[in-house]
Amino acid sequence: MSDSNSGLKGINRRKFIQGSASFAVAAASLGSGVFSTNVAASDWKQNNKHDDKKTSKLWQKVKKEFVLDKKSVYLNTGTTGSMPKHVLEQLEDNNKIVAQYPWDMDGKFGSWPYVSEMVEDIAAGFGANTDEIILSRNTTDGMCSILNGLHFESGDVILTTHHEHVAATSPLNVVKQRFGVEVVEVQLPVYTGTENVTEDDYIEAFRDALNANSNVRLITFSHITYKTGTKLPAKRLCDLAKQYGIPTLIDGAHTIGMLDLDLHDMDCDFYAGAGHKWQCGPGATGILYVRDNASRLNDYWSDRTNPLWLINSSLSHADYLGTQVQMQYIGNDNYPAKQALADSCKMWDEIGRDNIEERVFELSRLCKALLSKALPHAYQFAPNDDDLLSGITTFNPFELTDEERLVEFRDRLRNEYGFIIRTTDFKLYKEDTVDSHALRISTHIYNDEDDIRGLVYAIENLYKDMV
């Protein structure tokens, strides 16, 4: 590409972003008031579910709370999100406090272990007790803490799926090599755009695996698969596991901040999620849920004297403090970052996590429907079905194995049109020797209908150019 062409493409991209609304069909009208960066929690408290005009104004306020580059449209929250302005500003202030008062941080974060008030503020928003939530570094941190801490022995079996992230597959590899554990991958049903895939299909896949394998000691799976964006029936899978007396560890990297979670109702044993993705906290933050001090392990793993070793802790010897404090304290921590995560969580709670889930799904449904109309022949891997729906849309209008072409499509979509998405790869069937590839779109609360319509219009135009 010549320099002159590169310059023209930059100009066209900005004009395209500004003008894409003209291609939208009856997009909702948005107001123009500027919302203060110092948002009071009470400002979000509105009951707008039955008032479209108020709902539209609410999401306009929310969108203005983010500092995302206006010359592009960001649709890659599944990789990392963006902090709200007031959270970003408070994070900077708190970092200055720690630098100014390194000994006691001027009492900013309360008493030792300095995160208790944060946890108290946010635990209920996830349907959990304060003694069940640990503010971790990310999903991988939580998954490793549990998988490497469980008292596995040779001959034990772990059930997982063939669509897991390295946050799970890496520690699974460790326990396999270290303890002689057998890791069995369940073949997930994979939607490609035409099949009738239901929750029952996922339940039966796990049930068949349970009946085919003896000595299963743990079931671990992604609540939403990062590869396709399919939402698995987590509560029903936990119910199934309980019938067999098996604990569950869930990778919730894409649910914290997207779904209206009730971890008690789900009744899993462990749940590890990210703070920097859909929850829009800073990097290296996450949430780990440990149900009731992992007490159910004493029933499920009664043959093991110590079912869970607290390997990621500075207080493994201090049982009197309780599991939550033991797992939370790892020596000096990044308290400003954890406070920023808590601040973002509080904003979500004030907006209403049910409202956020509904908004994310609304945009996701629109995206999937418009893509189906624009590219009816394309593969779509994330079902547009309420039971399996998430804020992630994955598709491929080309050959499934043509990674090079998808990367070119992704890059041109950003460079020429200003829309930022990503690619993923996965195996349709776990026996496949080559990967299938897809483009992945994440729709979140700082996106709107005009963004989605503009994106699909750009995708359609770019596709026509590339074929």
CA 261 vs. chain centroid, Å, equals 12
Q: Band of the pLDDT at 50, cuts 50, 70, 90?
A: low
In 3D space, the residue among 48, 94, 88, 31 whose CA is nearest the CA of residue 65 turns out to be 88
Residue 411 neighbours by CB under 8 Å, 6+ apart: none
Cα atoms in the Cβ-side hemisphere of radius 13 Å centred on 367: 32
Pairing mode, if any, of strands 182-186 and 270-274? unpaired
CA 291 vs. chain centroid, Å, equals 20
Q: Are 181 and 175 in contact (CB under 8 A)?
A: yes
Looking at residue 14, its pLDDT comes to 46
Q: Band of the pLDDT at 29, cuts 50, 70, 90?
A: very low
Angle at 287 between CA 284 and CA 289, to 5 degrees: 150
Q: Band of the pLDDT at 55, cuts 50, 70, 90?
A: confident
- DSSP secondary structure letters along 168-205: HHHHHHHHHHHH-PEEEEE------SSS---HHHHHHH
In 3D space, the residue among 411, 342, 444 whose CA is nearest the CA of residue 74 turns out to be 444
Q: What is the mean pLDDT of residues 246-275?
A: 98
CA 388 vs. chain centroid, Å, equals 15
φ/ψ of residue 369, rounded to 5: -65, -45
CB count within 10 Å of CB 119 equals 22
Residue 297 has pLDDT above 80, yes or no: yes
CA distances, 171 to each of 148, 248, 394, 398, 424 (Å): 7, 15, 27, 34, 21
Residue 254 has pLDDT above 70, yes or no: yes
* Peptide bond between residue 113 and the one before it cis (omega within 30 degrees of 0): yes
Looking at residue 30, its pLDDT comes to 33
Residue 26 has pLDDT above 60, yes or no: no
CA distances, 56 to each of 25, 354, 418 (Å): 16, 16, 24
Query: 120-131: per-residue pLDDT in tens?
Result: 999 999 999 999
Query: 266-279: per-residue pLDDT in tens?
Result: 999 999 999 999 99
Extents of the domains making up the chain? 3-85+354-466, 100-348
Q: Minimum mean pLDDT among 47-51, 151-155, 164-168, 231-235: which range?
A: 47-51
- DSSP secondary structure letters along 270-316: EEEEESSSTT---SS-EEEEEGGGGTTHHHHTTTSSSSB---S-S-T
d(C-alpha 35, C-alpha 39), whole Å? 8
Q: Which long-range contacts (CB under 8 A, 24 or more apart) does 269-275 make?
A: 269/294, 269/296, 269/297, 270/142, 270/146, 270/294, 271/223, 272/136, 272/139, 272/141, 272/142, 272/143, 272/145, 272/146, 272/167, 273/139, 273/142, 274/138, 274/139, 275/135, 275/138, 275/341, 275/344
Q: Are 206 and 237 in contact (CB under 8 A)?
A: yes
CATH number of 100-348: 3.40.640.10
Query: 326-365: per-residue pLDDT in tens?
Result: 999 999 999 999 999 999 999 999 999 999 999 999 999 9
Looking at residue 2, its pLDDT comes to 38
Structure tokens at 403: 């990674």
φ/ψ of residue 266, rounded to 5: -65, -40
What fold is seen in the domain 3-85+354-466?
Answer: Aspartate Aminotransferase, domain 1 (3.90.1150)
* Average pLDDT score, the chain: 91
Residue 46 has pLDDT above 60, yes or no: no
In 3D space, the residue among 422, 450, 416 whose CA is nearest the CA of residue 14 turns out to be 416
Q: What is the mean pLDDT of residues 429-450?
A: 97
Q: In what order do the strands lie in the sheet with 379-380?
A: 379-380, 392-396, 436-442, 422-426
